[in-house]
Structures are given as structure tokens and as C-alpha cells.
Amino acid sequence: MEKREIALSTPNLNADIVENLKECIEEGWISTSGRFIGEFEEKVSSYIGMEDAVACQSGTAGLHTALRILDVGAGDAVLVPTLTFIAAVNPVRYQGAEPIFLDCDKGFCLDPVKLRQFCAAECRLEDGRLIHNKTGRTIKAIIPVHIFGNLSDMEAIMEIAQDYSLKVIEDATEALGSFWIDGAFAGQHAGTVGHIGVFSFNANKIITTGGGGMIVSPDSDILRQARYLTTTAKDDGLFFAHNEVGYNYRMLNIQAALGVSQIDELPDFIQTKIANYWLYWEFLSETPGIRLLPFRPGTRPNHWFYALYVDDLPESAPGETRNRLMARLIEEGIQCRPVWKLNHTQTPYVNCTNYLIEQAEDYEKHILNLPCSTNLVEADVRYICEKLQKALASLSATSVL
């Protein structure tokens, strides 16, 4: 079988984008002004069923802005998952606050059972504030992350937030196009349930502007503040008056031009993601030692990333089999990756509070993300699965010997 090079997740761009970029260049609107920014905001907000949206420089910039708006600062704490990309956590420190790390559930996302348990057992309510007993910090917010496009249990999380006077910032950076089909939030999209939602359009996301993000909220005042802060808190554009410290976080018009072209293709991209997920399921379902992890029932996820769980072979150290399988696939030109190093073990955060981390530790050792680009065809998926099965069989034979 001829060797192929298959990337993990690549942009799926077409020639229509060229016309938008050409307009930006010819008219000179390539920076933070131009018609495409507003158009992209309108298209995204319409797609997810919101009144408005604020385009920004990145998902990280969006999370930072959200924390600033919700008055998270020095002396405060924010509840975050340990199983997520570190960019979901770093903005907490930008504000001088401390993250408190919690475990994930079987669906990769923040575990609401342990979240409630932590609030009840490790904290106290005092004058309407949730105080962490050990550090004395006021816990201001929760950041649930919709991992791999899988939706967090937002019904439970929002109930806990109400019970303990917490704000909720939905990190929907991986979940554009995911929505609930059952329950209290049926018909609502990721990012639209919490007090603020944030999306990302990084190059590996389901649609991309190269970089870029989007802030959404049902509260128009929050969006007004977001637009103000992300445009350097400019109060007078002619005389350059700034009454607050703001950020140069506005999305570029040339980025938005990419987004305007991509957003209309999102439904087709998601259908391709779903179809390829089920192809993987079909080709791998009878293969011993591995299983493709499902998405949460009652939702229509965007299937952004596919997570394969790799069992340990006999006498292998935890995670060794996953790592050896990953190395074999990479040798074959198939890009794949483990899940992120858990954030409570990252050097900047080793001294932060973490609570009952168990499921996330198991996933850190056993999850392998497989190629999931929207330009994959059935032959690509079949090739990946055949190489994977061959590599796994070889590892199993070696283990038996």
C-alpha cells in the first residue's frame, strides 16, 4: 500500500475566498475596519440564534475579555476543567485570579457531580459569594469547555451556578455548530446558554479565519462592553480618548473575509465530519483493544475531533500502548495526537487547587485523536484504519512474544 501523508486537521478552503480577499486588498481594508467584520458577526450570530456577536482576535482574547467584563480579578478564583487546551485557563491568570482544576466526565467535559461536590464540601456561601475554604478566594465563575465539540452538561452546570452565585463562561471554541436536541436547552447552540460564550476560528477549527474568535451573550450590555474593550476602549476616535484600559483585540477585516466565505459551508462541513466519524466506527468497531468514544446523548455535536480509546496491552505501563501505536501511525505519515497534558500538572499551575482528578488522568493516558479534516474522503479513512489495525496487530504480537 502506497504511503500517504494525512494531516490531523487542516483548513478546507475554496476559490470563493479569493474574491473576498481581493476586495480587502484592493480597497485597503485589511486591518480592524471594513465591511466583512460586521457581516461575519451577523452571519455567526444568525447561525447560532443570537441577536448579536462581537468578533475578536482569538478565542483566548474572547475568554480574557469575558473574565474582565465579569469582574474577575486579583484574589478571585475560577473553576476550570483540567482536561482542556491550556488557552482556556491562561486568561484566568491574565486577570490575576487563580484557576481551580476539576475532573472531566465520561464525555470529556467538566464533571458536574464533582463540581457540585466541590462547591458544597470545599467552599462556603458568605454574603452571596462562594468562598473557597482553603485559600479564602472568592470563586466568581465557571468555564465549562465543550471538548472536541462534545457538549457539557449545561443543565446541571447552570443549576449549580445559580445555587452558588457563579457566572458561566462557555468555552465553545471547539463546538461551533453543536447544539442540544433534548432537555431544557433543546434547539440552543453551544455558547448560547451561559452568561457569555466564546468561539474560535483557529486554523484547525471546523471553519477558520486563520486566527480569530467571537464573543456572544444574551445580554446586550455585555456585548456592548465587549465591543468597547476589544477596540482599545476608545471613547473618541478622532481625538483618541480612552477612559479605560482596553485591548487591541479586534478581528481583522481580512480574517473576517475568510469567515464570511466559510460560514455558509459549515452545515456541509459538519455533515462530512459526522459521516467520517461513522466510517471510523464501521471500520474499527470489531477491532479488539480500541474503541471510538461516543458523543453525549441528547445532542447534535459538530464532531470536531474523534477520540479513540486505546487499551493497555498486557504488561504494558499505563499509556505505553497508546504511545507506541501513535508513533507507528506517525511513521506511516498519519498525523495523530494524544489529548493535552492535564493543566493541573502544567508548570505554571502545579501549586493550584485541584479536586478529585481521576477520569481525566485515564483519558490523558489512553486517548488518541485521529485525522478529522473535512476534506477527508472514504478512501482516506479506510487507509487510516487499515494502517491502525496493522500497527495494533503488530504491537499485540510483540506483546505476546
Residue 263: helix, strand or coil by DSSP? Answer: helix
In the prediction, which pLDDT does 401 show?
Answer: 47
Kindly report the backbone phi and psi dihedral angles of residue 13, in degrees, each rounded to the nearest multiple of 5, phi listed first: -105, 150
**What type of residue sits at position 81?**
P
Q: Tell me: the pLDDT tens digits for 260-310?
A: 989 999 999 999 999 999 999 999 999 999 999 999 999 999 999 999 999
- Look at residue 261 in the predicted model and tell me its pLDDT: 87
Query: Comparing 16-263 with 266-400, is the CATH topology the same?
Result: no
Exposure of 236 by Cβ count < 10 A (0-12 exposed, 13-18 middle, 19+ buried)? exposed
The answer for residues whose C-beta is within 8 angstroms of residue 132's C-beta and 6 or more apart is: 77, 100, 122, 123, 138, 139, 353
Domains of the chain, by residue range, sit at: 16-263, 266-400
Nearest CA-CA partner of 253 in 209, 219, 223: 209
Burial class (CB in 10 A: 0-12, 13-18, 19+), 82: buried
For the chain, which residues score pLDDT lower than 70? 1, 29, 31, 399-401
What was the pLDDT predicted at 26?
76
E strands, 92-175, in order? 98-102, 123-126, 129-132, 138-142, 167-171
Inter-residue contact 217 to 226 (CB < 8 Å): yes
Q: Looking at the domain 16-263, which fold is it?
A: Aspartate Aminotransferase; domain 2 (3.40.640)
How confident is the model at residue 397, as a pLDDT?
A: 84
> What whole-number percentage of the chain has pLDDT above 70?
98
Torsional class of 127: left (φ above 0), alpha (ψ -120 to 50), beta (otherwise): left
CA 80, CA 58: separation in Å to the nearest integer?
A: 19
In angstroms, the CA 108 to CA 106 distance is 6
Round to whole Å and give the CA distance between 226 and 224.
5
Are the CB atoms for 195 and 169 separated by under 8 Å?
Answer: yes
CA 102 – CA 286 distance, rounded (Å): 34
DSSP for residue 189: B
Q: Whole-angstrom Cα distance, residue 304 to residue 274?
A: 9
* Separation between Cα atoms, residue 227 and residue 60, nearest integer Å: 15
Q: Are 368 and 306 within 8 A, CB to CB?
A: no
pLDDT on residue 33 = 75
Looking up cell 481625538 gives: 239
Dihedral of the CA atoms 386, 392, 398, 401 (nearest 10)? -100
Cβ pair 293, 309 in contact under 8 A: yes
Where are the extended beta strands (E) located within 241-305?
A: 241-242, 290-292, 299-300
**Residue 1: per-residue pLDDT:** 58
Predicted confidence at residue 203, as pLDDT, reads: 87
**Topology of the domain covering 266-400:** Aspartate Aminotransferase, domain 1 (3.90.1150)
pLDDT given for residue 373 in this prediction: 96
CA 362 remoteness from chain centre: 20
What is the reported pTM?
A: 0.95
